[in-house]
Amino acid sequence: MNYIKKRWVWILSLVMVMALVFVTPAFAQDGTPPSDEVVDLTLGINILWMIVGGFLVFFMQAGFALVETGFTRNKNVAHTMMMNMMVFCIGAVGYWLVGFAFQFGAVNAAFPAVSTVGAVGGEWAHSPITLGDWSGLLATPLIRFGQYGFLGGSGFLLGGLGANAGVLAFFLFQMVFMDTAATIPTGSMAERLKFVGFVFMSLWVSMIIYPIAGGWVWGGGWLQNLGRAAGLGNGAVDFAGSGVVHLIGGAIALAGAIVIGPRIGKFNKDGSANTIPGHNLSLGILGTIILFFGWFGFNPGSSLGFVGAFRNLAVIAAINTLMAGAAGGVSAMAYAWLVGPTKKPDPALSVNGILAGLVAITAPCAFVDTWAAVVIGLVSGVIVCWATALLDKLKIDDPVGAVPVHLFNGAWGVLAVGIFANGNPDTAAWNGVESAVTGLLYGGTTQILAQLAEVTSIFAFVFGLSYVFFKVLAAFKVLRVSREVELQGLDISEMGAVGYPVDWEPQDVDAPEVSKPGFSAHPATTD
C-alpha cells in the first residue's frame, strides 16, 4: 500500500486515527487497537464515500450550466454554456498548479497549542483523520502569524505527496468545491462578460482568492483556530461551505456585477427595473434538480467518512439537506404566490428558493435538528425574495440571482450554525476544541462570534480584492463586451457559434421537399 510510507509513522499515528474514527463508547471500551484489515476497510469506506460525493459535486457543474443558460437569453447561449463548461477545465489546472497548495499546504502545520483528541505529540494538526495518515505531508505554511495561519505553501502540482490515496481523493473533492465557487460569478456577469475576462476570472478564483480565504476555514487557518486560540466556540465551523464556497463565490459575483455594470436596458431612466426573462425554463428547472441531486454529495460527502460517528454526521447532513432545500422551495413559492411580485407560484423564484435553502443548510447541515433545517430553509426562501428586490433597488444587475442565492444565504447559513447547533456529542473535538459545536439556542454563547468573524472577514477580503481585480480587468478592456456585441448577443462575436442554429441545407441540390423545423407530421401516439 503506497500510503504507508514509513511503517513506524503509521504505527505511531494509528491510535490517533482510531481515536476519532471509533469515538463510540462501544469501541473505546475495548482498548485494543483495530487490526490492519479493519483500518484498511475503514479507509475504503471513508474514501469511497468522499470520492463518490466528489463525483456528485462535479455533476453540479451541469446544473449550474443549465440554470444560468436557461435563465439568460437565446442570443447568449453559446457564451453562457461555454463559461460553465470551461470554468471547470481552467479551474482544475489552476487549482492543481497552486490553488490546492495555497489552501491546504499548511493544513498539517503543527501549532504549539492546546493538546486535543487527534494530537500527535501534544500538538494539533488538521488533516482529515478519516482519510488515513498524512503525517508530514502538507505541513509548510507560506504565511503564518503565531497560531494564525494565512497561506499554505506545499503541494504545488501535487508534488511531494506521493500516491497517498487519501490526499489525492481529498484533492479531487476540494477541487470540485472550488469549481462551485468559481462558477457562481459567471451567473452575475452573464450576457456581457468578455470571454477572455472570464478566463482571467477563472484563474483568479482557482489560484488566488478562493484558496486563500478557503484555507482560513478548512486548511488549518486563522478562522478555524479562533476556538483553540481565542476561545470563540469551536472556531469558525462550516461543514460544507456556506461560507467557504457560497459566500466566497457570492462576494466575487457581487464585485463583478457592480464593476461590470447592468445589462443594457435592465434599468429604466426612472430607476425602475425591467424583468429580462431567460429563454428556457425546462433547462433551468432541470438544472435545479441536478443541483439538488449533486448537493447530496456536497453536504453529506463533507463528513469525509462513513464509519462510526462520521456516518451519523453524513446521514444527518443528508436529511437536513433534503428538508432545507424543500422548505426553501415551498417558502419562496408561497411568498411569490401570496405576497408578490407576481401573486403566482413563480418558477424563477421557486428555483432560487430551493437553491437558497440548499446554500443556507450547507454550513449547519451536520449540526442541527431536522426541525431547525426546515426553519433555516423557510427563512432562506424569504431572504432570496427580499434580496432579489433589494438588488433591483440598488441597481445591481445579477441576471440569475447569484448574489441573493449564494451571498445572502451563504451568510445566513454560516450564522445559523451559531444559532441552531445542537451540541451533538459526535461533533466534540471539532477544530481541536473539546466541547461539541453548540449554538445560541443550546447555550453556546461564543460560537456565533466565530461565525460572525467568518462572514465579515471573508466578505470583506474577497469582495474587496475582487473589486480591485475586476477594476483592473476593466482598465485593460477585457471585462465587458462592446455595446454592439451585447445587443447582438455575445455568441457570434465572442464564440463564433450560436446556441440553436437553423438547419443547414445544401444549396446546390434540387431538394424535393426540405423539412421545416417544427414541422409536425407526428401520426403516432405520444402516450
- Footprint of its own copies on 424-443 (CB under 8 A): 424-426
Q: Which stretch binds its own copies (CB under 8 A): 245-253, 302-310, 429-437, 450-458?
A: 302-310
Strand 148-152 versus strand 141-145 pairing type: antiparallel
By CB under 8 A, residue 509 contacts its own copies? yes
Binder of its own copies out of 16, 17, 61, 259 (CB under 8 A) = 61
The residue to which cell 421537399 is assigned: 513
Assigned C-alpha cell, 44: 475504503
Binder of its own copies out of 12, 19, 27, 446 (CB under 8 A) = 27
By CB under 8 A, residue 399 contacts its own copies? yes
Quote the CA–CA distance of 223 and 363 in Å, as a whole number: 14
By CB under 8 A, residue 417 contacts its own copies? no
Binder of its own copies out of 84, 103, 174, 447 (CB under 8 A) = 84
DSSP per position, 209-271: IHHHHHHHHHSS-TTTTHHHHH-STTSS--SS-IIIIIIHHHHHHHHHHHHH-PPTTSB-TTS
Assigned C-alpha cell, 453: 468573524
* Near its own copies in 170-189, by CB under 8 A: 171-172, 175
Q: Tell me the site size for its own copies, rule CB under 8 A.
A: 175
Binder of its own copies out of 117, 120, 165, 474 (CB under 8 A) = 165
Q: Which stretch binds its own copies (CB under 8 A): 91-99, 213-221, 412-420, 453-461?
A: 91-99
Cβ distance 339 to 347 under 8 Å?
Answer: no
By CB under 8 A, residue 43 contacts its own copies? yes
By CB under 8 A, residue 31 contacts its own copies? no
By CB under 8 A, residue 36 contacts its own copies? yes
3-state secondary structure of 525: coil
Binder of its own copies out of 13, 20, 49, 154 (CB under 8 A) = 49
* H or E segment to which residue 83 belongs: helix 77-94
- With respect to its own copies, which residue has the nearer C-beta, 280 or 447? 280
CB atoms within 10 A of CB 510: 5
Name the β-bridge partners of 141: 152
3-state secondary structure of 151: strand
Binder of its own copies out of 270, 333, 338, 368 (CB under 8 A) = 333
CB atoms within 10 A of CB 37: 8
Q: Which stretch binds its own copies (CB under 8 A): 25-33, 98-106, 118-126, 137-145?
A: 25-33
By CB under 8 A, residue 307 contacts its own copies? yes
Phi, psi of 123 (to 5 degrees): -115, 170
Query: 205: which DSSP letter?
Result: I
Name the β-bridge partners of 193: 480
Binder of its own copies out of 17, 253, 351, 379 (CB under 8 A) = 351
Query: 32: which DSSP letter?
Result: S
By CB under 8 A, residue 190 contacts its own copies? no
Binding mask 253-282 for its own copies (x = CB under 8 A): -----------xx--------xxxxxxxxx
Quote the CA–CA distance of 72 and 68 in Å, as a whole number: 6
- With respect to its own copies, which residue has the nearer C-beta, 184 or 351? 351
Q: Shortest distance, CB of residue 29 to its own copies, whole angstroms?
A: 9
Quote the CA–CA distance of 236 and 227 in Å, as a whole number: 7
Q: Shortest distance, CB of residue 4 to its own copies, whole angstroms?
A: 6
Quote the CA–CA distance of 173 and 476 in Å, as a whole number: 35
Binder of its own copies out of 227, 404, 410, 432 (CB under 8 A) = 404
CB atoms within 10 A of CB 65: 23
By CB under 8 A, residue 156 contacts its own copies? no
* Near its own copies in 489-508, by CB under 8 A: 489, 491-492, 494-508
By CB under 8 A, residue 102 contacts its own copies? no
Name the β-bridge partners of 152: 141
In the chain, the amino acid numbered 434 is E
Q: Shortest distance, CB of residue 382 to its own copies, whole angstroms?
A: 15
